[in-house]
Chain A
Amino acid sequence: MTGAGVLAILPLIIPSVAAVLLVLLISFWRNHFAAAAITLAGLALAFAATCWRPSTDAQQVTQLLLMDGYAAFFNGLILAAAAATVLIAYGYLRAWGGMPEEYYVLLLLATIGSQVLVASTHLISFFIGLEILSVSLYGLTAYPRTRLVSLEAGVKYLVLAATSAAFLLFGMALVYAELGTMELGEIIRRVTTQPAGLVFSGGLALLVVGIGFKLGLVPFHLWVADVYQGAPAPTTAFIATVSKGAIFALLVRYFVPLNALAGAAQFWMFGVLAIASMFAGNLLALLQNNLKRMLAYSSVAHMGYLLVAFLAGGELAVTAVSFYLVAYFITTLAAFGVIAALSPGQREFESLSDYEALAWRQPWTAAVLSISLFSLAGIPLTAGFIGKFYVIAAGANVRLWALLIILVANSAIGLYYYLRAILVMYRRPAEEQAGPAAGAAPHVAARVVVSVMTVLLLWFGLYPAPLIRLIQRLAAL
């Protein structure tokens, strides 16, 4: 590896160093604040290293990683989201009362795994990144180990993720058996240029199963609601944003630019996944009385929307997906940030009835949650609106009218449950029988995070041009 290569993967090295430092520190001095501070410093330095790129050329680092503008963009996004998660987790873990320091080690590792994913060019780095991410997530999910739901969620995630990893590995083996290469770019080139054999198609299908599981697409969505609900809210925020976003970025990187999907069997495969995810996600979300479960199913639907843009292909689709992911990251972090901030200690603030009349007790918190729900529903003034607009535009550009009409119908269904949640918050307190649970006073760090997220939501909703320019400059493939 050359010196330039080392410089290029600094954004990966810095969090790794921070993780090691943190482990050493914890072994002789437990201090929550110091742990959080080191984590934040590591993430901030890595973010700075991402922004500061010596040359704008793409830098291939060994066979495994490609540090180009696209990787830099998503690295920055992942690091920023991880930092937001740290701040959300800080107040949450303090209220929880257990030993919180290792949480940050796991968080750093999961972040590194996601960073590897968005930069990977090889099946090996793809798998390594995915496993670093998954294994850390088991820990992050089951972290409050005295809480049964979290343990259950952790085990459930472990079993299902291990199964999907087995699918992935087997798929990789089949692909390798047919093509004799593990380089992703090469594999996709083969797909487009020559007719695929049965073994290869089977391998690809297994890979899609693995990816579909990680994204929570229907019919691989069975873990989503339980894990979202059981995991502590900061972890849920992380799973919903970083883990899904990284995998989607990888998917887009390899399939979109080559228009590998146009007309192929894979197109129909992803199309069916998209339609099923949109419908099942939204319809199941309708039935939920638990905000975390509702957001879980809504995330299934959102992945379906993203797949529509992904299927559209072309440069517009890359911009649309990137923009949508940024908007979705911000929105989700704000929503789960509020949930985490309100959760007092042992119990999570997750049932819709907990939010009864919140607007009159904590107007600012309720406003943040409402704005993020409006953003998920794609209402103007929020980044979600521009994101949805972009996704629909990408689809309309290549005339995917059937998928778009399904998307539109689904976003009307989706609106219903978002509105219901908002309505609960704005109900008049006089109508309640029993006094509502008051909800914890949000910690100042969480307050700052959700406020920043809200400002960003409104800013990108009103003036998206700079962000779009950044995406087009960096994330173009």
Chain B
Amino acid sequence: MLTLLILLLMLGGVAAWISGRWSQTWPRWISMGTALLHIIILLVLWVHDLYRTEPGTAWLEETRRVWVPQLGITYHLAIDGLSLLLVLLSNFLGILAIASSWEGIQKRVGFFHFNLMWILAALVGIFEAMDLFLFYFFWELVLVPLYFLIAIWGYENRYYAAIKFFLFTQASGLFLLLAILGLYFAHARATGVYTFNYFDLLGTPIAGGAAFVLMLGFFVAFAVKLPVVPFHTWLPDAHTEAPTAGSVDLAGLVLKIGAYGMIRFIPPLFPQAASEFATFAMILGVIGIIYGAIVAFAQTDLKRLVAYTSISHMGFVLLGIFAWNELALQGAVMVMIAHGLSTGGLFILVGDLQNRLHTRELSRMGGLWAAAPRMGGVGLFLAMATLGLPGLANFVGEIMVLFGVYQANVTLAAIATGGFVVATIYSVWMMQRVYFGPNVHELRLRDSNAREMTIFGAVIAVTVWLGVHPAPVISTAKPALDTLQDYARRPATTVSVRDAAPLERGES
């Protein structure tokens, strides 16, 4: 069934592409229909899980097939609460992305929707893959449609941004590949079994130094995607130059695969190394929070500003993951979802503004509230969500992360709190520059139409819902996160690393 879900998206993409030869509208309806069908199936699965009475494992669905037996590669998809939430988020934002480009994209509509659907399919694959080879496969696959999306439909500087994005993420991905292979052979030497299966690789005994190096390989790959501060330079370019749908997918989803990868793989696979590394990673997280916020404040380009706020929010996620206690982890998951919604919404808003004003420069805006009050209201709401107003989803997540981190490291928690202050400054400042003050440029613009208001309405509804009643998300994520914490606690069976012979015929 999980395979069918991914195939559904892929085939939807192909159908959209083909239909694009004859019509501009069909690709939109086809991809929208596919995405809606997909999310309905997922929602059924989710509701079913929420009202599940008997306690079971954390895993809701699983598919396992032999793929390349010679190398011990299995086609293994499985979904737990964490994956389910992120897949739901992907789908929700995917639908928003399709809806937001309904009028903006008029050229090569078929290929555009093909790329959108394949990004979604690859993301769903990443969140569900339980074989490291398969994970890497989807991890690399997601880059290609995203690259096309930026390079073909992006703005002025799109070629530069697209290539930079691809190179950064691909190069880091290759370190992930090396680390996966290192783990694979270490496991084979210890046990004689050649496998890429996540569950088999858990608890692989590796000597301390080697484990640390392998863990770093995973970390670098995920850190580039997240992005953690020294690796973030691709992000503002890619986000700014991408078309609206691309920015939504990037900010809402592609950043999340970095966070997801960290939660799923780093502490469970390398518990010892991860705990040694945790403080350093948390410091990087705090640096990200403060740095992202301060740089965001200094931007004159509205879209770049939003892009830098992502860096700041992802700092909270990194902090939460490496604090590695229940509260912090749940907070991190919550921030991931909330950030996807609010930043996705902001990017759509900026896209709508750009379509009307043909600029993203803050200095060319001002006083738009009077001209377009509905957009102004949406902007105000999203800005408040971004700065973490209590009662909205972001607040829930960030406060949980801070409480969790407080248990682990008081100093860092205290500094991270400063992030709230800076976030307030840039959010309010952004509102001030765009919507308030005199309309010096005498801008006139069409206010949001019904389609746009539906999109924003959906974002606002979910953000408020999760802000007031986050229990469903938390209870869905809990068993998955508990299981992962269990994995990380399980002691490695110590076998000498150099016992087994090297891989000869490749039989698993």
Which residues on A are within 8 Å of B, measured CB to CB?
314-316, 319, 360, 374, 379-381, 385, 389, 392-393, 396-398, 401, 404-405, 408-409, 411-412, 415-416, 419-420, 423, 426, 428, 463-465, 468-469, 472, 476
User: Chain B, 70-97, contact with A by CB distance < 8 Å: what is the 0/1 string?
Assistant: 1100000000000000000000000000
Known: A408-B174, A426-B148. A465 touches B68 (CB 8 A): yes
Distance in angstroms from A320 CB to nearest chain B CB is 9
Q: How far is the CA of A423 from the CA of B164 in the complex (A)?
A: 13
Cβ contacts A to B, 10 pairs, < 8 Å: A314-B504, A315-B506, A316-B506, A409-B171, A411-B174, A412-B167, A412-B171, A415-B166, A423-B151, A426-B151
What's the Cα separation between A415 and B107 when bound, in Å?
A: 27
CB of A464 within 8 A of CB of B68, answer yes
Tell me, in angstroms, the Cα distance from A464 to B133 when the chains sit together.
13
Contacts of B184 in A (CB 8 A): 393, 396
Q: Is the CB of A314 within 8 A of B502?
A: yes
Question: What is the interface of chain B, defined by CB distance below 8 A to chain A?
Answer: 66-71, 107-108, 133, 136-138, 140-141, 143-144, 147-148, 151-152, 159, 162-163, 166-167, 170-171, 174-175, 177-178, 181-182, 184-185, 502-506
Contact present for A380 and B140 (CB under 8 Å): yes
What chain B residues lie within 8 Å of A360 (beta carbons)?
108
Cβ contact within 8 Å between B504 and A379? no
CA distance A354 to B137 in the complex (A): 33
Contact residues in B for A415 (Cβ distance below 8 Å): 166-167, 170-171
**B178 x A396 contact (CB < 8 A):** yes
Assess the A405–B152 pair: CB atoms within 8 A: no
B70 interface neighbour in A314, A385, A426, A468, Cβ under 8 Å: A468
- Chain A residues contacting B182 (CB-CB under 8 Å) are 396
Query: In whole angstroms, what is the CA distance A374 to B137 when docked?
Result: 14
Chain B interface main SS type: helix
**A465 surroundings in chain B (CB, below 8 A):** 66-70
In the assembled complex, which residues on chain B have CB atoms less than 8 Å from the CB atom of A315? Answer: 504-506
The interface residues of chain A, by DSSP majority, are classed as: helix
Given A415-B171, A416-B163, A476-B505, 10 more pairs with CB closer than 8 A: A319-B506, A379-B144, A380-B141, A385-B137, A396-B178, A419-B166, A423-B159, A423-B162, A465-B70, A472-B506
Chain A residues within an 8 Å CB radius of B143:
379
User: Of A389, A426, A428, A476, which is within 8 A of B177 by CB?
Assistant: A389
Q: How far is the CB of A371 from chain B (nearest CB, A)?
A: 10
How long is the Cα–Cα vector from A423 to B184 in the complex, in angstroms?
35
Residue of A nearest to B507 (CB): A472
Chain B residue nearest to A409 (CB atoms) is: B171
CA distance A404 to B504 in the complex (A): 19
Q: Once bound together, how far apart are the Cα atoms of A469 and B507, in whole Å?
A: 10
Contact A397 B503 (CB under 8 A): yes
> What A residues does B144 contact at CB under 8 A?
374, 379
B133 contacts across to A, CB distance below 8 A: 389
CB distance from B73 to the nearest CB of A (A): 9
Ranked nearest first, the 9 interchain pairs of A and B with the lowest CB-CB distance are A412-B171, A396-B181, A408-B174, A380-B141, A380-B140, A380-B137, A468-B70, A315-B504, A465-B68
Closest residue of chain B to A398, judged by CB? B502
CA distance A409 to B174 in the complex (A): 8
Given contacts A416-B163, A416-B167, contact A405 B502 (CB under 8 A): no
Pairwise interchain contact B174-A393, C-beta atoms closer than 8 A:
no
User: Roughly how many angstroms separate A457 CA and B182 CA in the complex, as a whole number?
Assistant: 27
Chain A residues whose C-beta falls within 8 Å of the C-beta of B136 in the assembled complex:
380
Q: Which residue of A lies closest to B138 (CB)?
A: A380
Complex Cα distance A380/B166, Å?
14
With a cutoff of 8 Å between Cβ atoms, the chain A residues found around residue B174 in the complex are: 408, 411-412
Which of A393, A398, A411 neighbours the largest number of chain B CB atoms within 10 Å of its CB?
A393
Nearest chain A CB to B204's CB is how many angstroms away?
A: 15
Write the chain A residue with the least CB distance to B175.
A408
Report chain A residues within 8 Å CB of B170.
412, 415
- The smallest C-beta distance from B180 to any residue of chain A, in angstroms, reads 9
Whole-angstrom CA separation of A464 from B178 in the bound complex: 20
Is A419 a contact partner of B181 (Cβ separation < 8 A)? no
CA distance A60 to B153 in the complex (A): 61
In the complex formed, the residue of A with least CB distance to B213 is A401
- Residue numbers in A under 8 Å from B107 (CB-CB): 428
Q: Across the interface, do B167 and A392 meet the contact criterion of CB distance under 8 Å?
A: no
**Which residues from chain B contact A468 at a C-beta distance below 8 Å?**
68, 70-71, 506
Provide the residues of chain A in CB contact with B505, threshold 8 Å: 315, 472, 476
**Once the chains bind, are A426 and B167 in contact (CB under 8 Å)?**
no
Question: Which A residues are in CB contact (< 8 Å) with B162?
Answer: 419, 423
Taking the closest CB of chain B, its distance from the CB of A252, in whole angstroms, is 16
Assembled-state Cα–Cα distance A424/B430 (Å)? 37
CB distance from A399 to the nearest CB of B (A): 8
Q: How far is the CB of B407 from chain A (nearest CB, A)?
A: 38
With a CB–CB cut-off of 8 A, which chain B residues contact A379?
Answer: 140-141, 143-144
The residue that A426 contacts in the complex, of B71, B141, B152, with Cβ under 8 A, is B152
Q: Are A393 and B181 in contact (CB under 8 A)?
A: yes
B163 lies within 8 A of A419 (CB)? yes
Task: List the B residue with the shortest CB-CB distance to A476.
Answer: B505
By beta carbon, the residue of chain A nearest B139 is A380
**Of residues A374, A401, A419, which shows the largest number of chain B Cβ atoms within 10 Å of its Cβ?**
A419
Q: Give bound CA distance, A389 to B140, whole Å.
A: 12
- Of the candidates B141, B151, B177, B505, the one having the most CB atoms from chain A within 10 angstroms of its own CB is B177
Q: A396-B185, A426-B148, A465-B68 are in contact. Are A316 and B140 (CB under 8 A)?
A: no
Alpha-carbon separation in the docked complex, A380 to B178 (Å): 16
Chain A residues with CB under 8 A of B148: 426
Within 8 Å by CB of B178, from A398, A405, A463, A469, lies A405
Given contacts A389-B177, A426-B152, A472-B505, contact A381 B141 (CB under 8 A): yes
- Closest approach, in angstroms, between the C-beta of B185 and any C-beta of chain A? 6
Chain A's closest residue to B152 (CB) is A426
The docked-state distance in angstroms from the alpha carbon of A408 to that of B221 is: 13
Name which residue of chain B comes closest to A377, CB basis: B170
Are A472 and B163 neighbours in the complex by a CB distance under 8 Å? no
Q: List the A residue with the shortest CB-CB distance to B166.
A: A419
In the complex, what residues of A have CB within 8 A of residue B506's CB?
A: 315-316, 319, 468, 472
Highest count of chain A CB atoms <10 Å: which of B171, B505, B506: B506
Distance between A259 CB and nearest chain B CB, rounded to angstroms: 11
Distance between Cα atoms of A464 and B137 in the complex (Å): 13
